[in-house]
Amino acid sequence: MMEDLANQIRSWWPSEIDGLKMSLAFSFALCIISWVMVKRSRNGAPPLPPGPRGLPLIGSLPFVEPDLHRYFAKLARIYGPVMKIQLGRKICVVLSSPEVAKEVLKDHDAIFADRDSSAAAIALMYGGIDIAFSPYGPDWRMMRKVCSREMMSPKVLDSYYCLRRREVHETLRYVRTKAGTPVNISDMAFGASLNVVTSMIWGDTLDAEDRRSVGHEFRRVAGEAVDLLGSPNVSDLFPIISRFDLQGVVGRMKRVSSWLDRIFDSVIDQRLKMDRGEGEGEGKSKDFLQLVLQLQKEGGAKTPMTPNHVKAMFVDLVVGGTDTSATTIEWAMAEMMHNPEIMKKAQDELEQVVGMDHMVEESHVPKLHYLDAILKEALRLHPPVVFLVPRSPRKPCTIGGYTIPMGSRVFINTWTIHRNPEGWDNPLEFCPERFYNSTSKWDYNGNDVRYIPFGSGRRMCAGVPLAERMLTYVLASLLHSFDWRLAEGMKLDLSDKFGIVLKKATPLVAIPTPRLSNPELYS
């Protein structure tokens, strides 16, 4: 049939047309025919989403603005809550309302359960076998089950409290030495978050000196990993040239992965020696490493965890649980310093619940309702991962009346959803009372898609139980132990800077003043 059509097309052209023109015309005609046949094959399926017209081959790349969350929000006001944009050879779909987000995260969750992983993520995560980036399937279900039921259960997290407490108190001692001098809140919160996470990973496997030494390097390497994950990479937009790694992103990420791999191998080997010499680590604090090594030993076919699975899970915890936590703490502190009456109200609550002659303990956290509202509001107005982790449909699916192509990259713009005036009163105002006085049961589990800082559905963040405890505990300790003020002449800047984690454009620097009645509490 196609050959007959081609012959017929050739007969339309006079013999004097030269070969080049003939070839161009023939190619154009075949494109038209193919387009018609594709249109017919859709059998009345809904159209693709609307979106800006791009250029041949490169799409809309030349027009993309640096603050991608704002750029996508601006386009959504033109094209609607379901929008298509071509970036290189990659078809991207941006969802900007809770209604269409619900269709992906709830109604068609199984279809959108896969990730559209970047080349950098695959290089970091042992080929993409971690919880965050691995394809939906048996391996992912096994990893998620281990994380949710064995590592993040309330009982297990309770048993690790002594490790979290040790690291938080170490942070408070450090801040006490900086009293009266400027402290970079982001760096301090990042160090605290990293120390808490790594301490829970390997507990007492490393002595205090080794923990400090490795922790210092971890801060540098984890920060580099986050930066590389957020770096635009031409290999992701033009897969045909990905093997050349033109920007060197994958090469640099492989070096990061290699460094992490050596550290984890060393710690795992040390833990195995300890267990052989001490009867499975008797007398030592429990930690994630001890737990997963025991599961790996006992699992067999039921839990076929390889050493790389274990290490990939730990990379998830280190990379996913540090920068996001530090950024959230920084935003909460910045908003409270911008609204001193909110900070005063939070400190009054802490005085009432904890008292000025005691340090904050995690047992106090469930009673800190206003502080919980402050954190929820910080995560609403400044969601740390604005697009969550991009999803990819396993087959074409209709969302909001449009066809989402199989294999496309689907962004859910939580920044826009959390600022939607149809879902929130005065959405640009930092107002913890919206959570404190609300009759709705707001939580972090994605049950209401108007509020999804950690995602929703089967691929939502697996570390939510730990984040809930850690964020509130660290923030409460900083507020209860110290008063905070800006340096003389400094102005508070609340602008943000787009990246894989939405950080403050200008890091928050503040001066702490001890406020507890007994100075010995800090030591």
Encode pLDDT of 257-271 as tens digits. Answer: 999 999 899 888 888
pLDDT at res. 31:
47
Distances (CA, A) of 147 to 44, 54, 156, 493: 44, 42, 11, 38
Question: Is the pLDDT assigned to residue 372 strictly greater than 50?
Answer: yes
Contact 222, 259 (CB under 8 A): no
pLDDT at res. 395:
97
Residue 53 domain-assigned (yes or no): no
Residue 34 domain-assigned (yes or no): no
pLDDT at res. 43:
59
Pick from 221, 249, 244, 220: which is nearest to 233 by CA? 249
pLDDT at res. 405:
97
Which residue bears the tokens 């196609």?
Answer: 2
CATH code of residue 481: 1.10.630.10
Q: Could you tell me the two tokens for 434?
A: 């919206």
Residue 20 domain-assigned (yes or no): no
- Which of the four pLDDT bands, split at 50, 70 and 90, describes residue 293? confident
pLDDT at res. 181:
97
pLDDT at res. 294:
83
Contact 398, 404 (CB under 8 A): yes
pLDDT at res. 10:
38
Residue 515 domain-assigned (yes or no): yes
Strands 409-412 and 90-95: parallel
**What is the rounded distance in angstroms from the CA atom of residue 170 to the CA atom of residue 519?**
15
Number of neighbours of residue 467 by Cβ within 10 angstroms: 23
- Which of the four pLDDT bands, split at 50, 70 and 90, describes residue 298? confident
Strands 482-485 and 509-514: antiparallel
- Which of the four pLDDT bands, split at 50, 70 and 90, describes residue 98? very high
Q: How far is CA 120 from the centre of its chain?
A: 15
334-345 pLDDT, tens digit per residue, is 999 999 999 999
Residue 27 domain-assigned (yes or no): no
Question: Is the pLDDT assigned to residue 391 strictly greater than 50?
Answer: yes
With a pLDDT cut of 90, the percent of the chain lying above it is 69
Q: State which H helix or E strand residue 92 sits in.
A: strand 90-95
Distances (CA, A) of 243 to 168, 226, 247, 249, 253: 44, 22, 11, 12, 15
What is the DSSP code (8-state) at residue 501? S
241-259 pLDDT, tens digit per residue, is 999 999 999 999 999 999 9
Contact 214, 263 (CB under 8 A): yes
What is the DSSP code (8-state) at residue 430? -
pLDDT at res. 284:
53
pLDDT at res. 241:
93
**What is the rounded distance in angstroms from the CA atom of residue 302 to the CA atom of residue 305?**
9
pLDDT at res. 2:
39
Q: In whole numbers, what is the pLDDT of the chain averaged over residues?
A: 88
pLDDT at res. 277:
67
Residue 1 domain-assigned (yes or no): no
Contact 302, 141 (CB under 8 A): no
pLDDT at res. 303:
58
- Which of the four pLDDT bands, split at 50, 70 and 90, describes residue 27? very low
DSSP bridge pairs for 93: 84, 410
Exposed, middle or buried, 405 (CB in 10 Å: 0-12/13-18/19+)? middle
Q: What is the mean pLDDT of the segment spanning 351-378? A: 97
Contact 491, 485 (CB under 8 A): no
- Which of the four pLDDT bands, split at 50, 70 and 90, describes residue 272? confident
Which of 119-128, 161-170, 249-258, 279-288 comes out lowest in average pLDDT?
279-288
404-456 pLDDT, tens digit per residue, is 999 999 999 999 999 999 999 999 999 999 999 887 889 999 999 999 999 99
Whole-structure pTM value? 0.89
pLDDT at res. 300:
59
Residue 425 domain-assigned (yes or no): yes
Pick from 287, 279, 284: which is nearest to 159 by CA? 287
Which residue bears the tokens 């002659």?
Answer: 357
Residue 95 domain-assigned (yes or no): yes
What is residue 49's three-state secondary structure?
coil
Q: What is the mean pLDDT of the segment spanning 453-462? A: 95
146: domain range?
A: 61-522
Question: Is the pLDDT assigned to residue 282 strictly greater than 70?
Answer: no
Buried b (16+ CB within 10 A) or exposed e, 332-366: bbbbbbebeebbebbbebbeebbeeeebbebebbe
Contact 334, 491 (CB under 8 A): no
**What is the rounded distance in angstroms from the CA atom of residue 277 to the CA atom of residue 208?**
20
Domain count, the chain: 1
Which residue bears the tokens 């005036």?
Answer: 421
